[in-house]
């Protein structure tokens, strides 16, 4: 029986805020499976801020998307047919999957999931999201019990995981987000000790109120004006884990920040380090065991923000940069 799939192609490099005209959907016939092939029906796709950087030409930690190529990202799916001895029909798998209804692959980079766990956890708590939070907080930020940990973009997928892990190890956690609804959610759902709405007129007052003893670890997902305001609260020998700079990803020009930053880092002996989660790949297995233990004990949770339909995947990506998502942004395919 012939099988067709829709695919979302990257067709235009955006200037400024990414728009839906950077993408185009096409339909094609799938090939017949050869020996070693598996046919995956894509069930969920993850959209993430790093994808915006890959739409630009230029040097970065990941190569740019090629114009005319099918978009790819983290995804989970079910195996509909298999000619691969390592994968059986009905398995749930996770890997870098195309933005499409179906795909055929030899299975390289695709991992069969533990069927005792919800499959989407492989895209957040027990996937790259959880690993980013884990290594960024514990190895880059060197967080320890009693530290004051401040997180920008705290209502995003990584941010709320950072806050939960920080609470597990005994830190005071303050989350920065972009609305009163988000800050209330962080307190009510994850038990953050303090929250700050950076869009509020009294942003500076909220910083003073929530940070009377300063900051020991700043986990930065946002950059820009938020980080400009936060750094003056850094304590001596504090640490900055630079995970993302989402406020700048769609900028056509980058404003200069305060020139007092480097003197401040010097005077207070602050360590600031950017990191990419793949830096820690040799340690993924150990970290995933710990994350799984915390998840099964109910200490780690994740809010899923789900958009329906492959055709709405570009819209789901844009929601990230508008600050509309709460928790992990996913796209569910029927």
In this predicted model, what pLDDT tens digit does every residue of 216-244 receive, in sequence order?
999 999 999 999 999 999 999 999 999 99
* pLDDT tens digit sequence for 9-33: 999 999 999 999 999 999 999 999 9
pLDDT at 259: 80
Could you tell me the two tokens for 16?
Answer: 């400024």
Task: Using the predicted structure, report yes or no on whether residue 331 has a pLDDT greater than 80.
Answer: yes
Cβ count near 326 (within 10 Å): 20
SS3 192: coil
Q: Cα-atom radius of gyration of the chain, to the nearest Å?
A: 21
Q: Which of 249 and 152 is assigned the larger pLDDT?
A: 152
Q: State how far the Cα of 44 lies from the Cα of 65, in Å rounded to an integer.
A: 21
Residue 49, pLDDT > 80, answer yes
Q: What is the DSSP letter of 200?
A: S
The rounded percent of the chain whose pLDDT value lies above 90 is 90
**Number of Cβ atoms within 10 Å of the Cβ of 283:** 13
Could you report the per-residue pLDDT of 129-170, keeping only the tens digit for each?
999 999 999 999 999 999 999 999 999 999 999 999 999 999
What's the CA gap between 186 and 173, in Å, rounded? 10
Quick one: the chain helix, strand, coil %, rounded to 5?
30, 30, 40
Domains of the chain and any CATH numbers: 4-117+302-332 (3.90.180.10), 131-278 (3.40.50.720)
Rounded to 5°, the CA angle 125-130-132 comes to 160
| Cα–Cα distance, 58 to 34 (Å, whole number) | 37
DSSP letters along 210-243, please?
H-TT-EEEEEES--HHHHHHHGGGEEEEEEEEE-
Query: What is the reported pLDDT for 188?
Result: 96
Strand partners, 194: 174
Q: What is the pLDDT of residues 251-277, one digit of tens each?
A: 777 777 778 889 999 999 999 999 999
Q: Confidence band (pLDDT; 50, 70, 90) for 58?
A: confident
């Amino acid at each position: 029986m012939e099988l067709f799939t829709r695919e979302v192609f990257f067709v235009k490099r955006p200037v400024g805020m990414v728009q839906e005209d950077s993408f185009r959907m096409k339909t094609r016939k799938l090939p017949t499976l050869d020996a070693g092939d598996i046919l995956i029906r894509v069930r969920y796709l993850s959209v993430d801020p790093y994808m915006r950087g890959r739409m630009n030409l230029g040097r970065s930690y990941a190569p740019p998307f090629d114009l005319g190529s099918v978009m790819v990202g983290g995804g989970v799916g079910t195996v509909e047919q298999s000619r691969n001895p390592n994968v059986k029909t009905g398995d749930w798998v996770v890997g870098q999957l195309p933005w499409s209804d179906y795909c055929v692959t030899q299975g390289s980079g695709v991992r069969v999931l533990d069927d005792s766990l919800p499959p989407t956890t492989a895209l957040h708590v027990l996937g790259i999201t959880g690993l980013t939070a884990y290594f960024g907080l514990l190895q880059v930020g060197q967080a320890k019990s009693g530290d004051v940990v401040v997180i920008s973009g705290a209502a995003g997928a990584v941010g709320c995981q950072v806050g939960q892990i920080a609470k597990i190890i005994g830190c005071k956690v303050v989350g920065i987000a972009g609305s009163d609804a988000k800050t209330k959610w962080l307190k009510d759902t994850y038990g953050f000790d303090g929250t700050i709405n950076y869009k509020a007129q009294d942003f500076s007052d909220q910083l003073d109120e929530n940070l009377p003893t300063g900051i020991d670890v700043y986990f930065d997902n946002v950059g820009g004006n938020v980080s400009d305001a936060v750094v003056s609260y850094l304590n001596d020998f504090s640490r900055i884990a630079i995970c993302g700079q989402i406020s700048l990803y769609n900028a056509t020009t980058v404003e200069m920040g305060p020139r007092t930053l480097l003197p401040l880092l010097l005077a207070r002996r602050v360590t600031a380090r950017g990191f990419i989660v793949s830096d820690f790949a040799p340690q993924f297995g150990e970290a995933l065991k710990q994350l799984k233990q915390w998840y099964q004990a109910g200490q780690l949770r994740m809010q899923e923000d789900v958009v329906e339909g492959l055709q709405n995947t570009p819209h789901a990506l844009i929601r990230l940069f508008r600050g509309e998502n709460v928790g992990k942004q996913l796209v569910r395919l029927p």
